[in-house]
Amino acid sequence: MSIEEQGGQKTAASKIAPAKGKLGVMVVGLGAVATTMIAGVEAVRRGLAKPIGSLTQMGTIRLGKRTDNKSPLIKDFIPLADLNDVVFTAWDIFEDNAYEAAAHAKVLEEKLLEQVKPYLETIKPLPAVFDQYYVKRLNGTHIKHGKTKRDLANQVMEDIKAFQKTVDRVVVIWAASTEIFIKPSAVHQSIEAFEAGLDNNDIGISSSQIYAYAALSLGVPFANGAPNLTVDFPAMVELSKKNSAPICGRDFKTGQTMMKTVLAPAFKARMLGVSGWFSTNILGNRDGEVLDDPESFKTKEESKLGSLDYIFQPELYPDLYKDLYHKIRINYYPPRGDQKEAWDNIDIFGWLGYPMQIKVNFLCRDSILAAPIALDLILFMDLAKRTPALRSIGVQEWLSFYLKAPQTAEGLYPEHDLFIQSMKLKNTLRHIMGVDLITHLGLEYYD
Ligand SMILES: NC(=O)c1ccc[n+]([C@@H]2O[C@H](COP(=O)([O-])OP(=O)(O)OC[C@H]3O[C@@H](n4cnc5c(N)ncnc54)[C@H](O)[C@@H]3O)[C@@H](O)[C@H]2O)c1
């Protein structure tokens, strides 16, 4: 379907650079999420499975009026990279290739893994930037050495430049372990302060920030799938805008938080009160082991806690939400592996204050939920880089849909409601393609 047939204006859409050639994806962390995504992309390319959970691959977008009956696939509407043009590489603190790492993660069944083994074996991680101070439970051996953090950033830049020679465009995504909780400090306030911090090994600069700095310095988009402080501070926003390198974060919104940001907006829309929300999880993968460390857990907890406050707006609805007690627990329980179990007990109240309870028991597969999110973020970040209206704005808030603690422009509160996020994402796609936004007003049908 041509842009005109879809009701679009050629001028807006034609300004987006085409997705020509190879898209190189550099994944930081070749663990459960990364290998599940990479193996999955290869399985889809070979027709072995379907990309379920991926909006870019399976989603449609309505254009025009409901009576127009125009709902193309998103990937036919906007110029996204084709999965056949995606090339992966990674960094990790262990030398295992993607097949060995996937086998270790035990997410995918052996039968599927064997079918994509020859491809996965070709993906061998580059040595990582790693300092145990930021992830206490890991001890890596496959790491870079340098006197200063600046040296390490330069080495990452060399890796990126070498990869850039083999592909047409590059996107970097953080799917590595959750680092300890870091509060932004003076070193994070400007590019100059951050660069001085790189030179004098400032403790506020974590490994993830070194990768992000390297990518953004080269104009390469960077998405953060974990809750650590990585691109969400002034120095990175400045660098992102300066070099037209889109950023987004934090933390893939997969299981429990996804459910939370679906249920909470429903209670609020119906003016039902909530007095308590207790969320607990058991999981036994490496992520669970890392989160067993109180400092990494704190980072995750902060990321998970925010959503309810923003959705409920207790300052606007004190009678309904001011006394909400919200508690989150993550328990490392090895027998469960990647197959996390989450329980939510929600104490709500209705008409005249009468109490009720809701129990949600989600038996999910963490990496099965995260893999399509990582893929979509990669493809959309590449689109953002090719789109004049998006490439130099810094934070890609329209990708909040995928994130637990969405980054926004300074001074804005984040939108957590999944359906507002979905509308925002689709309207952004309509906007950059020059077609009418959909407001759901619908009065035109009754003229
Ligand atoms: N699976 C989910 O549903 C989900 C949801 C939201 C966020 N996340 C986050 O995504 C990240 C990845 O999750 P996972 O389940 O794949 O974890 P994982 O432990 O299986 O994989 C993480 C990988 O990162 C590597 N690593 C650690 N520090 C590194 C560094 N500095 N450089 C390069 N590699 C490094 C580890 O060696 C490991 O292989 C975690 O931070 C997790 O909290 C996962």
CA of 108 to the centre of ligand 1 (A): 16
Residue nearest (by alpha carbon) to ligand 1 atom 6? 252
pLDDT tops 80 at residue 4: no
Angle at CA of residue 136, ends 131 and 140, nearest 5°: 50
User: Is residue 342 lining ligand 1, measured as CB closer than 6 Å?
Assistant: no
For residue 255, what pLDDT is reported? 87
CA of 325 to the centre of ligand 1 (A): 29
Higher pLDDT, 196 or 366: 196
For residue 22, what pLDDT is reported? 98
User: Is residue 129 lining ligand 1, measured as CB closer than 6 Å?
Assistant: yes
Note whether 364 and 107 are within 8 A (CB).
no
For residue 179, what pLDDT is reported? 93
Average pLDDT of the segment spanning 110-138: 95
Average pLDDT of the segment spanning 352-365: 96
Average pLDDT, the chain: 93
Which of 33, 38, 250 to mutate to test ligand 1, by most ligand atoms within 8 A of the CB atom? 33
User: Is residue 230 lining ligand 1, measured as CB closer than 6 Å?
Assistant: no
**Total-model pTM:** 0.94
For residue 283, what pLDDT is reported? 85
With helix as H, strand as E and coil as C, how does the chain read?
Answer: CCCCCCCCCHHHHHCCCCCCCCEEEEEECCCHHHHHHHHHHHHHHCCCCCCCCCHHHHCECCCCCHHHCCCCEHHHHCCCCCHHHEEEEEEECCCCCHHHHHHHHCCCCHHHHHHHHHHHCCCCCEEECCCCCCCCCCCCCCECCCCCHHHHHHHHHHHHHHHHCCCCEEEEEECCCCCCCCCCCHHHCCHHHHHHHHHCCCCCCCHHHHHHHHHHHCCCCEEECCCCCCCCCHHHHHHHHHCCCCEECCCECCCHHHHHHHHHHHHHHCCCEEEEEEEEEEECCHHHHHHCCHHHHHHHHHHHHHHHHHHHCCCCCHHHHCCCEEEEEEEECHHHCCCCEEEEEEEEECHHHCEEEEEEEEECCHHHHHHHHHHHHHHHHHHHHHCHHHHCCCECHHHHHHECCCCCCCCCCCCCCHHHHHHHHHHHHHHHCCCCCCCCCCHHHHC
Note whether 362 and 250 are within 8 A (CB).
no
Note whether 414 and 406 are within 8 A (CB).
yes
Work out which ligand 1 atom sits closest to the CA atom of 31.
Answer: 21
Using CA atoms, how far residue 80 sits from 47, 67, 382, in Å, is: 19, 27, 8
Among candidates 161, 309, 175, 174, which has minimal Cα distance to 236?
174
Work out which ligand 1 atom sits closest to the CA atom of 30.
Answer: 39
Would you say how long the chain is, in residues?
447
User: Is residue 116 lining ligand 1, measured as CB closer than 6 Å?
Assistant: no
Among candidates 28, 13, 433, which has minimal Cα distance to 228?
28
Instruction: List Cβ neighbours of 119 (8 Å cut-off, separation of 6 or more).
Output: 42
For residue 196, what pLDDT is reported? 98
* Positive/negative CA dihedral, 76, 77, 79, 80: negative
User: Is residue 93 lining ligand 1, measured as CB closer than 6 Å?
Assistant: yes
For residue 287, what pLDDT is reported? 77
For residue 10, what pLDDT is reported? 55
CA of 180 to the centre of ligand 1 (A): 13
pLDDT tops 80 at residue 193: yes
User: Is residue 299 lining ligand 1, measured as CB closer than 6 Å?
Assistant: no
Using CA atoms, how far residue 436 sits from 12, 78, 428, in Å, is: 12, 15, 11
Q: Which residue type does 385 have?
A: K
For residue 291, what pLDDT is reported? 78
Which of 124, 257, 287 to mutate to test ligand 1, by most ligand atoms within 8 A of the CB atom? 287
Percentage of the chain exceeding pLDDT 70: 96
pLDDT tops 80 at residue 96: yes
Residue 6 pLDDT level (bands cut at 50, 70, 90): low
Strand-by-strand arrangement of the 273-283 sheet: 325-332, 273-283, 341-349, 355-363
Average pLDDT of the segment spanning 344-367: 96
Write the pLDDT tens digit of every residue in 200-235. Answer: 999 999 999 999 999 999 999 999 999 999 999 999
User: Is residue 28 lining ligand 1, measured as CB closer than 6 Å?
Assistant: yes
- Look-up of token digits 């989600």: 362
Write the pLDDT tens digit of every residue in 125-174. Answer: 999 999 999 998 888 899 999 999 999 999 999 999 999 999 999 999 99
For residue 391, what pLDDT is reported? 96
For residue 286, what pLDDT is reported? 78
Residue 338 pLDDT level (bands cut at 50, 70, 90): confident
Average pLDDT of the segment spanning 8-34: 87
Note whether 307 and 416 are within 8 A (CB).
yes
CA distance 277 to 216: 39
- State the first-to-last Cα distance of the chain, in angstroms, to the nearest integer: 30
Residue 301 pLDDT level (bands cut at 50, 70, 90): confident
Q: Two tokens at 49?
A: 């499975």
CA of 174 to the centre of ligand 1 (A): 8
Lowest-confidence pick of 77-91, 281-295, 391-405: 281-295
Average pLDDT of the segment spanning 393-420: 94
| Distance, C-alpha 103 to centroid of its chain | 23
User: Is residue 176 lining ligand 1, measured as CB closer than 6 Å?
Assistant: yes
CA of 272 to the centre of ligand 1 (A): 37
CA of 31 to the centre of ligand 1 (A): 6
CA of 33 to the centre of ligand 1 (A): 7
Residue 12 pLDDT level (bands cut at 50, 70, 90): low
